[in-house]
Amino acid sequence: MHFLSFTPILLLQLTNLPVLHAAKWTYTGQEGQQYWSKHYPYCGGSFQSPIDIESELLRFDPTLGPVEVQNYDLSSDEQLTLGNNGHSVQLSLPHKMYISSLPHRYTAAQLHLHWGSTSKPAGSEHLVNSQQYAAELHVVHFNSDKYPNMSMAVDKSDGLAVLGVLIEVGEFNPAFEHFLKFINDVKYSDQRVQIPGFNIRALLPVRLDEYFRYDGSLTTPPCYPSVLWTVFRNHVTISHKQFLALATTLYSSHTQDSTAVPLNSNFRKPQPADSRVVLVSFKEGRGLHGTLTVTSPLMRKRIIQQLLVGDLADLEDEGLYQLLPSGPEQLRAGKKNDLKDKQSESLAKYKQQTLNPSLRKKSQTNRSVGKFGLAEDTLSYVSLEQRVFHQLKQSHSEDQLVQALRDVVFPELNLKSYLGCRSDLALPTIKNILRGRPTDEAFELDHSLTKAFMGQGKTSTVIKKSVPTTNYGRPSPAAPRKPYSQGYPHPWLLPMEWED
Protein backbone atom coordinates (compact mmCIF):
# COMPACT_ATOMS: atom_id res chain seq x y z
CA MET A 1 0.00 0.00 0.00
CA HIS A 2 1.46 3.31 -1.05
CA PHE A 3 1.82 6.27 1.24
CA LEU A 4 3.09 8.57 -1.51
CA SER A 5 0.65 10.98 -3.12
CA PHE A 6 0.73 13.94 -5.44
CA THR A 7 -0.86 16.43 -3.08
CA PRO A 8 1.29 19.41 -2.01
CA ILE A 9 0.27 18.96 1.63
CA LEU A 10 1.67 15.43 1.67
CA LEU A 11 4.90 16.61 0.08
CA LEU A 12 5.11 19.14 2.89
CA GLN A 13 4.64 16.31 5.37
CA LEU A 14 7.52 14.42 3.80
CA THR A 15 9.85 17.40 4.18
CA ASN A 16 9.01 17.57 7.90
CA LEU A 17 10.07 13.96 8.56
CA PRO A 18 13.52 13.17 9.97
CA VAL A 19 16.42 13.26 7.53
CA LEU A 20 16.64 9.48 7.44
CA HIS A 21 13.26 9.48 5.60
CA ALA A 22 14.63 11.23 2.53
CA ALA A 23 16.23 8.08 1.15
CA LYS A 24 15.37 6.58 -2.21
CA TRP A 25 13.85 3.11 -2.12
CA THR A 26 13.12 0.38 -4.65
CA TYR A 27 11.80 -3.17 -4.53
CA THR A 28 15.07 -4.82 -5.59
CA GLY A 29 18.75 -3.95 -5.75
CA GLN A 30 20.82 -1.80 -3.42
CA GLU A 31 17.78 0.14 -2.16
CA GLY A 32 15.54 -2.96 -2.20
CA GLN A 33 13.09 -4.07 0.46
CA GLN A 34 15.66 -6.01 2.48
CA TYR A 35 17.37 -2.64 3.14
CA TRP A 36 14.28 -0.48 3.78
CA SER A 37 14.66 -0.57 7.56
CA LYS A 38 18.08 1.06 7.26
CA HIS A 39 16.40 4.38 6.46
CA TYR A 40 12.81 3.59 7.45
CA PRO A 41 13.04 1.77 10.81
CA TYR A 42 9.36 0.83 11.03
CA CYS A 43 9.88 -1.42 7.98
CA GLY A 44 11.80 -3.75 10.31
CA GLY A 45 9.29 -3.38 13.13
CA SER A 46 6.01 -4.85 14.31
CA PHE A 47 2.66 -5.58 12.66
CA GLN A 48 3.96 -5.25 9.11
CA SER A 49 2.08 -5.97 5.88
CA PRO A 50 1.45 -7.83 3.67
CA ILE A 51 1.03 -11.27 5.20
CA ASP A 52 0.27 -14.76 4.00
CA ILE A 53 -3.36 -15.28 5.07
CA GLU A 54 -3.05 -18.89 6.20
CA SER A 55 -5.97 -21.01 7.38
CA GLU A 56 -4.50 -21.42 10.86
CA LEU A 57 -4.58 -17.64 11.39
CA LEU A 58 -8.30 -17.36 10.65
CA ARG A 59 -10.90 -16.62 13.33
CA PHE A 60 -14.57 -16.27 12.49
CA ASP A 61 -16.14 -13.08 13.87
CA PRO A 62 -19.96 -13.16 13.69
CA THR A 63 -20.11 -9.40 14.31
CA LEU A 64 -18.45 -8.56 10.98
CA GLY A 65 -21.11 -7.29 8.59
CA PRO A 66 -20.77 -6.38 4.90
CA VAL A 67 -18.38 -3.62 3.93
CA GLU A 68 -20.47 -0.55 3.09
CA VAL A 69 -19.05 2.07 0.72
CA GLN A 70 -20.71 5.37 -0.10
CA ASN A 71 -20.58 7.61 -3.21
CA TYR A 72 -18.31 5.25 -5.15
CA ASP A 73 -20.30 5.71 -8.36
CA LEU A 74 -18.62 8.82 -9.76
CA SER A 75 -19.93 10.91 -12.62
CA SER A 76 -17.94 11.09 -15.86
CA ASP A 77 -18.03 14.86 -15.42
CA GLU A 78 -15.75 14.51 -12.40
CA GLN A 79 -12.05 14.69 -13.17
CA LEU A 80 -9.60 12.32 -11.47
CA THR A 81 -5.79 12.47 -11.54
CA LEU A 82 -4.03 9.36 -12.81
CA GLY A 83 -0.29 9.38 -12.17
CA ASN A 84 2.93 7.39 -12.05
CA ASN A 85 4.73 7.96 -8.72
CA GLY A 86 7.72 5.79 -9.63
CA HIS A 87 6.46 2.86 -7.55
CA SER A 88 2.94 2.31 -8.90
CA VAL A 89 0.17 3.79 -10.99
CA GLN A 90 -2.12 5.78 -8.72
CA LEU A 91 -5.57 7.33 -9.09
CA SER A 92 -6.74 10.20 -6.87
CA LEU A 93 -10.21 9.82 -5.35
CA PRO A 94 -12.66 12.51 -4.19
CA HIS A 95 -13.31 12.89 -0.46
CA LYS A 96 -17.04 12.35 -0.89
CA MET A 97 -16.23 8.62 -1.17
CA TYR A 98 -16.03 6.83 2.18
CA ILE A 99 -16.47 3.59 4.13
CA SER A 100 -19.48 3.78 6.46
CA SER A 101 -19.30 0.33 8.12
CA LEU A 102 -16.34 0.95 10.45
CA PRO A 103 -16.37 2.59 13.90
CA HIS A 104 -15.02 5.79 12.33
CA ARG A 105 -15.72 7.36 8.96
CA TYR A 106 -12.85 6.52 6.61
CA THR A 107 -12.66 8.85 3.62
CA ALA A 108 -11.13 7.78 0.29
CA ALA A 109 -7.81 9.30 -0.78
CA GLN A 110 -6.44 7.22 -3.66
CA LEU A 111 -6.16 3.79 -5.21
CA HIS A 112 -3.17 2.05 -6.73
CA LEU A 113 -2.00 -1.40 -7.84
CA HIS A 114 0.79 -3.91 -7.32
CA TRP A 115 1.59 -6.47 -10.01
CA GLY A 116 4.09 -9.00 -11.32
CA SER A 117 6.01 -9.18 -14.58
CA THR A 118 5.72 -10.97 -17.91
CA SER A 119 8.25 -13.57 -16.77
CA LYS A 120 6.61 -13.98 -13.34
CA PRO A 121 2.95 -12.88 -13.48
CA ALA A 122 2.37 -13.41 -9.73
CA GLY A 123 2.50 -9.96 -8.13
CA SER A 124 -0.14 -9.59 -5.41
CA GLU A 125 1.12 -8.49 -2.01
CA HIS A 126 -1.20 -10.59 0.14
CA LEU A 127 -1.11 -14.35 -0.27
CA VAL A 128 -3.92 -16.74 0.66
CA ASN A 129 -2.60 -20.10 1.87
CA SER A 130 0.66 -19.31 0.03
CA GLN A 131 -1.13 -18.59 -3.25
CA GLN A 132 -0.01 -15.36 -4.89
CA TYR A 133 -2.31 -13.69 -7.41
CA ALA A 134 -1.34 -11.76 -10.55
CA ALA A 135 -1.97 -8.31 -9.03
CA GLU A 136 -3.64 -6.48 -6.17
CA LEU A 137 -5.69 -3.30 -5.95
CA HIS A 138 -5.56 -1.09 -2.84
CA VAL A 139 -8.21 1.55 -2.15
CA VAL A 140 -6.78 3.79 0.56
CA HIS A 141 -8.93 5.65 3.11
CA PHE A 142 -8.04 7.84 6.10
CA ASN A 143 -9.84 8.38 9.41
CA SER A 144 -11.60 11.68 8.67
CA ASP A 145 -13.40 11.68 12.03
CA LYS A 146 -10.06 12.32 13.74
CA TYR A 147 -7.68 13.72 11.10
CA PRO A 148 -8.15 16.47 8.47
CA ASN A 149 -6.25 14.71 5.68
CA MET A 150 -4.18 11.70 4.65
CA SER A 151 -0.93 13.40 5.65
CA MET A 152 -2.00 13.80 9.26
CA ALA A 153 -3.49 10.30 9.48
CA VAL A 154 -0.76 8.22 7.87
CA ASP A 155 1.45 7.89 10.94
CA LYS A 156 -1.36 7.37 13.49
CA SER A 157 -2.20 3.91 14.80
CA ASP A 158 -5.88 4.37 13.87
CA GLY A 159 -5.20 6.48 10.79
CA LEU A 160 -5.89 4.34 7.72
CA ALA A 161 -8.23 1.68 6.37
CA VAL A 162 -7.43 -0.07 3.09
CA LEU A 163 -9.60 -2.29 0.92
CA GLY A 164 -7.52 -4.94 -0.83
CA VAL A 165 -8.72 -6.70 -3.99
CA LEU A 166 -6.87 -9.74 -5.33
CA ILE A 167 -6.66 -9.84 -9.13
CA GLU A 168 -6.25 -12.85 -11.41
CA VAL A 169 -5.71 -12.97 -15.16
CA GLY A 170 -8.89 -14.12 -16.89
CA GLU A 171 -11.84 -12.29 -18.41
CA PHE A 172 -11.62 -8.70 -19.65
CA ASN A 173 -12.63 -6.18 -16.99
CA PRO A 174 -14.39 -3.06 -18.36
CA ALA A 175 -14.14 -1.26 -15.00
CA PHE A 176 -10.33 -1.41 -14.97
CA GLU A 177 -10.26 -0.25 -18.58
CA HIS A 178 -11.60 3.14 -17.43
CA PHE A 179 -8.09 4.04 -16.28
CA LEU A 180 -5.85 1.44 -17.97
CA LYS A 181 -6.64 2.96 -21.38
CA PHE A 182 -4.83 6.12 -20.24
CA ILE A 183 -1.75 4.31 -18.98
CA ASN A 184 0.40 5.35 -21.96
CA ASP A 185 0.04 8.94 -20.82
CA VAL A 186 1.83 8.19 -17.53
CA LYS A 187 4.65 5.96 -18.76
CA TYR A 188 7.33 7.71 -16.70
CA SER A 189 7.67 8.71 -13.06
CA ASP A 190 5.89 11.94 -12.05
CA GLN A 191 3.75 12.05 -15.20
CA ARG A 192 0.02 12.70 -14.64
CA VAL A 193 -3.13 12.95 -16.67
CA GLN A 194 -6.74 13.94 -15.96
CA ILE A 195 -9.32 11.24 -16.64
CA PRO A 196 -13.13 11.20 -16.30
CA GLY A 197 -14.73 9.65 -13.22
CA PHE A 198 -16.37 6.22 -13.30
CA ASN A 199 -17.96 3.71 -10.93
CA ILE A 200 -15.16 2.78 -8.53
CA ARG A 201 -17.45 0.20 -6.91
CA ALA A 202 -17.19 -1.87 -10.11
CA LEU A 203 -13.48 -2.44 -9.35
CA LEU A 204 -14.42 -4.39 -6.22
CA PRO A 205 -15.80 -7.94 -6.05
CA VAL A 206 -19.57 -8.35 -6.31
CA ARG A 207 -19.77 -9.63 -2.73
CA LEU A 208 -18.55 -7.21 -0.07
CA ASP A 209 -19.68 -9.40 2.83
CA GLU A 210 -16.84 -11.94 2.58
CA TYR A 211 -13.44 -10.68 3.62
CA PHE A 212 -10.36 -11.06 5.80
CA ARG A 213 -9.50 -8.35 8.35
CA TYR A 214 -6.37 -7.71 10.37
CA ASP A 215 -4.16 -4.94 11.78
CA GLY A 216 -1.16 -4.11 9.63
CA SER A 217 0.98 -1.48 7.96
CA LEU A 218 1.78 0.45 4.83
CA THR A 219 3.48 -1.99 2.47
CA THR A 220 5.93 0.67 1.30
CA PRO A 221 8.28 2.97 3.24
CA PRO A 222 7.90 4.40 5.81
CA CYS A 223 5.88 1.25 6.69
CA TYR A 224 3.90 2.80 9.54
CA PRO A 225 1.70 0.15 11.25
CA SER A 226 -1.34 2.37 10.81
CA VAL A 227 -3.62 0.30 8.56
CA LEU A 228 -6.81 -1.66 9.26
CA TRP A 229 -6.70 -4.11 6.37
CA THR A 230 -9.78 -5.56 4.68
CA VAL A 231 -8.84 -8.06 1.96
CA PHE A 232 -11.81 -9.43 0.04
CA ARG A 233 -12.14 -13.17 -0.16
CA ASN A 234 -13.25 -13.22 -3.81
CA HIS A 235 -10.86 -12.08 -6.51
CA VAL A 236 -11.64 -10.14 -9.69
CA THR A 237 -10.15 -10.70 -13.14
CA ILE A 238 -8.44 -8.62 -15.79
CA SER A 239 -7.56 -9.87 -19.25
CA HIS A 240 -4.07 -10.92 -20.31
CA LYS A 241 -3.87 -7.79 -22.46
CA GLN A 242 -4.83 -5.59 -19.50
CA PHE A 243 -2.20 -7.27 -17.31
CA LEU A 244 0.44 -6.72 -20.01
CA ALA A 245 -0.46 -3.03 -20.05
CA LEU A 246 0.49 -2.86 -16.37
CA ALA A 247 3.56 -5.07 -16.64
CA THR A 248 5.16 -3.59 -19.78
CA THR A 249 4.04 0.03 -20.25
CA LEU A 250 5.29 1.79 -17.13
CA TYR A 251 8.74 2.90 -15.99
CA SER A 252 9.99 3.88 -12.54
CA SER A 253 12.52 6.23 -14.13
CA HIS A 254 11.91 9.78 -15.36
CA THR A 255 11.62 10.83 -19.00
CA GLN A 256 15.00 12.57 -18.93
CA ASP A 257 16.88 9.65 -17.35
CA SER A 258 19.48 8.03 -19.57
CA THR A 259 18.33 4.53 -18.65
CA ALA A 260 14.68 3.50 -18.66
CA VAL A 261 13.89 1.29 -15.65
CA PRO A 262 10.75 -0.87 -16.09
CA LEU A 263 8.10 -0.66 -13.36
CA ASN A 264 6.97 -4.19 -12.53
CA SER A 265 7.13 -6.75 -9.71
CA ASN A 266 6.31 -3.88 -7.34
CA PHE A 267 5.19 -5.99 -4.40
CA ARG A 268 6.55 -6.49 -0.89
CA LYS A 269 7.23 -9.99 0.40
CA PRO A 270 5.02 -11.45 3.18
CA GLN A 271 5.86 -10.34 6.71
CA PRO A 272 5.73 -12.24 10.05
CA ALA A 273 2.33 -12.63 11.73
CA ASP A 274 3.54 -11.10 15.05
CA SER A 275 0.84 -12.76 17.21
CA ARG A 276 -1.89 -11.42 14.94
CA VAL A 277 -4.95 -13.36 13.89
CA VAL A 278 -7.05 -12.69 10.81
CA LEU A 279 -10.75 -12.19 11.40
CA VAL A 280 -13.08 -13.55 8.73
CA SER A 281 -16.68 -12.59 8.07
CA PHE A 282 -17.63 -16.02 6.70
CA LYS A 283 -17.54 -19.63 7.94
CA GLU A 284 -18.03 -21.90 4.98
CA GLY A 285 -15.41 -22.75 2.40
CA ARG A 286 -12.16 -24.58 1.84
CA GLY A 287 -9.64 -24.19 4.65
CA LEU A 288 -12.23 -23.02 7.17
CA HIS A 289 -13.17 -26.32 8.78
CA GLY A 290 -12.79 -25.98 12.54
CA THR A 291 -12.23 -22.23 12.40
CA LEU A 292 -12.14 -20.74 15.91
CA THR A 293 -14.53 -18.01 16.92
CA VAL A 294 -13.16 -14.94 18.65
CA THR A 295 -13.65 -14.53 22.37
CA SER A 296 -15.92 -11.71 23.45
CA PRO A 297 -14.20 -8.34 23.88
CA LEU A 298 -15.63 -8.26 27.41
CA MET A 299 -13.59 -11.33 28.37
CA ARG A 300 -10.47 -9.82 26.85
CA LYS A 301 -10.96 -6.57 28.78
CA ARG A 302 -11.53 -8.58 31.94
CA ILE A 303 -8.19 -10.35 31.46
CA ILE A 304 -6.40 -7.04 30.96
CA GLN A 305 -8.12 -5.56 34.01
CA GLN A 306 -7.04 -8.50 36.16
CA LEU A 307 -3.44 -8.06 35.04
CA LEU A 308 -3.59 -4.33 35.75
CA VAL A 309 -5.29 -4.11 39.13
CA GLY A 310 -5.72 -7.67 40.39
CA ASP A 311 -3.82 -9.17 43.27
CA LEU A 312 -1.43 -11.17 41.15
CA ALA A 313 -0.53 -13.53 43.98
CA ASP A 314 -4.20 -14.46 44.44
CA LEU A 315 -5.06 -14.88 40.76
CA GLU A 316 -4.18 -18.56 40.87
CA ASP A 317 -6.68 -19.26 43.65
CA GLU A 318 -9.47 -16.82 42.77
CA GLY A 319 -9.72 -16.41 39.04
CA LEU A 320 -7.07 -18.17 37.03
CA TYR A 321 -8.66 -21.57 36.59
CA GLN A 322 -11.97 -20.27 35.30
CA LEU A 323 -10.06 -18.43 32.59
CA LEU A 324 -8.20 -21.52 31.46
CA PRO A 325 -9.64 -22.87 28.19
CA SER A 326 -10.88 -26.38 27.68
CA GLY A 327 -11.17 -28.03 24.31
CA PRO A 328 -10.93 -31.24 22.32
CA GLU A 329 -7.26 -30.85 21.41
CA GLN A 330 -4.99 -33.27 23.25
CA LEU A 331 -1.37 -32.57 24.10
CA ARG A 332 0.73 -35.37 22.69
CA ALA A 333 2.80 -37.15 25.30
CA GLY A 334 5.95 -36.64 23.28
CA LYS A 335 5.59 -32.87 23.51
CA LYS A 336 5.47 -32.60 27.32
CA ASN A 337 9.22 -32.61 27.95
CA ASP A 338 9.75 -30.02 25.22
CA LEU A 339 7.03 -27.93 26.81
CA LYS A 340 8.69 -28.02 30.24
CA ASP A 341 12.00 -26.92 28.70
CA LYS A 342 10.30 -24.05 26.90
CA GLN A 343 8.54 -22.97 30.06
CA SER A 344 11.77 -22.99 32.08
CA GLU A 345 13.41 -20.92 29.35
CA SER A 346 10.47 -18.50 29.42
CA LEU A 347 10.74 -18.06 33.20
CA ALA A 348 14.49 -17.48 32.98
CA LYS A 349 14.06 -14.85 30.29
CA TYR A 350 11.38 -13.13 32.32
CA LYS A 351 13.89 -12.37 35.09
CA GLN A 352 16.10 -10.43 32.69
CA GLN A 353 15.63 -6.77 31.87
CA THR A 354 14.02 -6.57 28.43
CA LEU A 355 14.65 -2.98 27.45
CA ASN A 356 17.17 -0.21 28.12
CA PRO A 357 15.71 1.80 31.05
CA SER A 358 16.20 5.05 29.13
CA LEU A 359 13.71 3.77 26.55
CA ARG A 360 11.12 2.50 29.04
CA LYS A 361 9.86 5.96 29.86
CA LYS A 362 6.21 6.26 29.07
CA SER A 363 5.51 8.50 26.13
CA GLN A 364 2.58 10.86 26.28
CA THR A 365 1.29 9.27 23.09
CA ASN A 366 1.54 5.75 24.44
CA ARG A 367 -1.23 3.52 25.73
CA SER A 368 -3.20 4.56 28.78
CA VAL A 369 -5.58 2.02 30.23
CA GLY A 370 -9.04 3.21 31.17
CA LYS A 371 -11.74 1.78 33.38
CA PHE A 372 -12.42 -1.14 31.08
CA GLY A 373 -8.84 -1.82 30.02
CA LEU A 374 -9.14 0.03 26.73
CA ALA A 375 -6.07 1.32 24.93
CA GLU A 376 -7.31 4.87 24.66
CA ASP A 377 -4.59 6.98 23.10
CA THR A 378 -3.44 7.01 19.50
CA LEU A 379 0.21 6.34 18.76
CA SER A 380 1.96 8.93 16.60
CA TYR A 381 4.79 7.09 14.90
CA VAL A 382 6.77 10.13 13.73
CA SER A 383 6.99 11.64 17.22
CA LEU A 384 7.72 8.25 18.78
CA GLU A 385 10.54 7.61 16.34
CA GLN A 386 12.05 11.04 16.94
CA ARG A 387 11.91 10.54 20.71
CA VAL A 388 13.51 7.09 20.63
CA PHE A 389 16.16 8.22 18.13
CA HIS A 390 17.06 11.17 20.37
CA GLN A 391 17.48 8.86 23.37
CA LEU A 392 19.62 6.45 21.37
CA LYS A 393 21.74 9.27 20.01
CA GLN A 394 22.55 10.41 23.54
CA SER A 395 23.81 6.93 24.33
CA HIS A 396 25.57 6.57 20.93
CA SER A 397 23.37 3.59 20.04
CA GLU A 398 21.67 4.89 16.89
CA ASP A 399 22.20 1.56 15.13
CA GLN A 400 19.68 0.00 17.56
CA LEU A 401 16.80 2.17 16.33
CA VAL A 402 14.88 -0.60 14.53
CA GLN A 403 14.96 -2.97 17.50
CA ALA A 404 14.30 -0.21 20.06
CA LEU A 405 11.23 0.98 18.15
CA ARG A 406 10.00 -2.58 17.87
CA ASP A 407 10.41 -3.09 21.62
CA VAL A 408 8.51 0.09 22.41
CA VAL A 409 5.76 -0.22 19.82
CA PHE A 410 5.00 -3.95 19.82
CA PRO A 411 3.29 -4.10 23.26
CA GLU A 412 1.19 -1.05 22.44
CA LEU A 413 0.04 -2.41 19.09
CA ASN A 414 -0.48 -5.91 20.44
CA LEU A 415 -2.67 -4.63 23.28
CA LYS A 416 -4.86 -2.53 20.97
CA SER A 417 -5.14 -5.36 18.49
CA TYR A 418 -5.88 -7.92 21.22
CA LEU A 419 -8.72 -5.82 22.60
CA GLY A 420 -10.04 -5.56 19.05
CA CYS A 421 -9.86 -9.38 18.77
CA ARG A 422 -7.26 -9.24 15.98
CA SER A 423 -4.30 -10.55 18.02
CA ASP A 424 -3.36 -12.92 20.77
CA LEU A 425 -1.92 -11.38 23.91
CA ALA A 426 1.84 -11.91 23.64
CA LEU A 427 4.28 -12.26 26.52
CA PRO A 428 6.10 -8.95 25.79
CA THR A 429 2.74 -7.19 26.16
CA ILE A 430 2.04 -8.90 29.47
CA LYS A 431 5.42 -7.73 30.72
CA ASN A 432 4.60 -4.22 29.57
CA ILE A 433 1.24 -4.29 31.40
CA LEU A 434 2.87 -5.55 34.59
CA ARG A 435 5.70 -3.03 34.45
CA GLY A 436 5.85 -1.14 37.72
CA ARG A 437 4.30 -3.99 39.73
CA PRO A 438 6.51 -5.69 42.33
CA THR A 439 8.90 -8.01 40.51
CA ASP A 440 8.29 -10.95 42.83
CA GLU A 441 4.51 -10.55 42.44
CA ALA A 442 4.71 -10.47 38.63
CA PHE A 443 7.09 -13.43 38.65
CA GLU A 444 4.71 -15.34 40.91
CA LEU A 445 1.93 -14.84 38.36
CA ASP A 446 4.17 -16.21 35.63
CA HIS A 447 4.93 -19.20 37.84
CA SER A 448 1.20 -19.67 38.60
CA LEU A 449 0.35 -19.63 34.92
CA THR A 450 2.95 -22.29 34.22
CA LYS A 451 1.64 -24.49 37.05
CA ALA A 452 -1.93 -23.99 35.87
CA PHE A 453 -1.02 -24.97 32.35
CA MET A 454 0.76 -28.11 33.49
CA GLY A 455 -2.30 -28.96 35.59
CA GLN A 456 -4.47 -28.66 32.49
CA GLY A 457 -2.31 -31.16 30.67
CA LYS A 458 -4.57 -33.30 28.55
CA THR A 459 -7.41 -30.82 28.04
CA SER A 460 -5.50 -27.81 26.80
CA THR A 461 -6.68 -26.05 23.67
CA VAL A 462 -4.53 -25.37 20.63
CA ILE A 463 -1.55 -23.33 21.74
CA LYS A 464 1.43 -21.46 20.38
CA LYS A 465 4.79 -22.73 19.36
CA SER A 466 7.61 -20.78 20.98
CA VAL A 467 8.74 -17.78 18.96
CA PRO A 468 12.38 -16.99 18.15
CA THR A 469 13.28 -13.88 20.09
CA THR A 470 15.65 -10.97 19.72
CA ASN A 471 18.04 -9.70 22.35
CA TYR A 472 15.19 -7.75 23.88
CA GLY A 473 12.92 -10.79 24.12
CA ARG A 474 10.57 -9.68 21.32
CA PRO A 475 9.51 -11.78 18.32
CA SER A 476 12.13 -11.50 15.62
CA PRO A 477 10.96 -9.56 12.55
CA ALA A 478 12.78 -12.05 10.34
CA ALA A 479 11.19 -15.10 11.90
CA PRO A 480 7.86 -16.07 10.34
CA ARG A 481 6.17 -18.77 12.35
CA LYS A 482 3.15 -20.99 12.63
CA PRO A 483 1.36 -19.45 15.57
CA TYR A 484 -1.01 -22.17 16.70
CA SER A 485 0.62 -25.38 17.80
CA GLN A 486 1.78 -26.93 21.04
CA GLY A 487 4.28 -25.17 23.28
CA TYR A 488 2.89 -21.84 24.46
CA PRO A 489 3.12 -21.68 28.28
CA HIS A 490 0.06 -19.50 28.93
CA PRO A 491 -2.94 -20.76 26.96
CA TRP A 492 -5.45 -18.80 29.05
CA LEU A 493 -4.13 -15.67 27.36
CA LEU A 494 -5.39 -17.07 24.06
CA PRO A 495 -9.09 -17.39 24.93
CA MET A 496 -10.53 -18.92 21.78
CA GLU A 497 -13.41 -21.37 21.43
CA TRP A 498 -14.01 -24.09 18.87
CA GLU A 499 -16.73 -23.37 16.34
CA ASP A 500 -18.81 -26.42 15.44
Other beta carbons within 10 Å of 181: 12
Other beta carbons within 10 Å of 162: 25
pLDDT of residue 302: 83
Over residues 121-129, mean pLDDT: 96
CA distances from 40 to 9, 57, 377, 401, 402 (A): 21, 28, 24, 10, 8
**One-letter amino acid for residue 175 of the chain:** A
Distance CA 362, CA 370 (A): 16
At 446, the pLDDT band (50, 70, 90 cuts) reads: low
Between 313 and 295, the more confident residue is: 295
**One-letter amino acid for residue 64 of the chain:** L
**Coil, strand or helix: which one is 441?**
helix
> Percent of the chain at pLDDT above 90?
57
pLDDT of residue 380: 92
Kind of pairing between the strands at 211-216 and 227-232:
antiparallel
At 288, the pLDDT band (50, 70, 90 cuts) reads: low
Per-residue pLDDT tens digits for 352-396? 433 444 443 333 333 444 433 445 578 899 989 988 988 888 887
**Coil, strand or helix: which one is 2?**
coil
Statement: residue 138 has pLDDT above 70? yes
Catalytic residue numbers?
A: 87
> Percent of the chain at pLDDT above 70?
69
Task: Answer yes or no: pTM beyond 0.85.
Answer: no
Average pLDDT, the chain: 78
Distance CA 230, CA 102 (A): 11
Can you list the domains of the chain with their CATH numbers?
8-280 (3.10.200.10), 295-498 (no CATH)
| 52 backbone dihedrals φ, ψ, rounded to 5° | -85, 115
Over residues 309-336, mean pLDDT: 44
- The mean-pLDDT minimum among 206-215, 271-280, 303-312 falls in 303-312
Q: Which alpha helices (DSSP H) does 227-364 contain, by range?
A: 240-249, 297-309, 315, 321-323, 336-350
Contact present, 142 and 133 (Cβ < 8 Å):
no
Residues 6 or more apart in contact with residue 152 via CB below 8 angstroms: 13, 159
Over residues 463-467, mean pLDDT: 31
Per-residue pLDDT tens digits for 203-215? 999 999 999 999 9
Other beta carbons within 10 Å of 50: 24
At 307, the pLDDT band (50, 70, 90 cuts) reads: confident
Per-residue pLDDT tens digits for 95-112? 999 999 999 999 999 999
- The mean-pLDDT minimum among 84-98, 118-132, 274-288, 470-484 falls in 470-484
Statement: residue 118 has pLDDT above 70? yes
pLDDT of residue 221: 97
| Residues listed for the chain | 500
At 342, the pLDDT band (50, 70, 90 cuts) reads: very low
